[in-house]
Amino acid sequence: MAGISSLGGQIFSFADRLAVGAILGLDAVAYYTIAINIASKILQLSGSVTSALMPAVSTWVASAKFHLVRAYFYKSTAILFILNLILSSILLFFSDIFFRVWLGEIVASQILVPFRFLVIIYALISLNAPAHHIAFGIGLPWLNAIASVTGGILTISLILQLGKSFGLLGAAIANAGYLSVYILLIYVFMYLRKHSQNEE
């Protein structure tokens, strides 16, 4: 299940570019790749910051300390929300200047708005990073696999639909399909609430 979750992410991060290319052409793929590679760093950072949760949670679950798991789930999600708010605000504020200096006026005009949507989307997606690691720690790897595959399928489907109607902006917004990973956050919340009550 862990392998499916990881492999699904790799496959769909390649398939989305194929879908953009098929719908909008190679120029759009270049613009899309630049924008999403920067925006997705928010998710990578969130995953790295919260990666220590998995071994810690695994230890606490083995000792039936679900109250600790629940407390750290809440704390890490809240801290990540604040961190993402600060980081995404900086990216949104400076993105115009950054792209115009780095890539020039023409390219910046193509990338700026899709990039800003991607920043917001990935800031929201990455709030599930604590739930992702905790799901592994409490023995629910299948939940991560389902979330990864579902999010990928929805995103590719939306790219094919929205890309036709709204171009590069539609392809960027289509990444909101990955917000389906909120099933992780909701399920982990309910799971920990139930087991914490049983512990009491």
Give tens-digit pLDDT for 132-142. 999 999 988 88
Which residues, in sequence order, are CB contacts of 25 under 8 Å at separation 6+? Answer: none
Mean pLDDT of 42-54: 92
Q: Which of 52, 75, 73, 76 is nearest to 186 (CA)?
A: 73
| Beta carbons of 49 and 80 less than 8 angstroms apart | yes
| Beta carbons of 47 and 132 less than 8 angstroms apart | yes
| Beta carbons of 10 and 154 less than 8 angstroms apart | no
- The domain ranges of the chain are 2-199
Q: What's the pTM? A: 0.91
**Percentage of residues in the chain having pLDDT higher than 90:** 78
Looking at residue 72, what is its pLDDT? 95
To which residue do tokens 């600060």 refer?
Answer: 86
Give tens-digit pLDDT for 52-99. 999 999 999 988 889 999 999 999 999 999 999 999 999 999 999 999
Tokens matching residue 149: 């595959």
Q: Which of 3, 2, 29, 5 is nearest to 150 (CA)?
A: 5
Mean pLDDT of 114-127: 96
To which residue do tokens 């309910």 refer?
Answer: 190
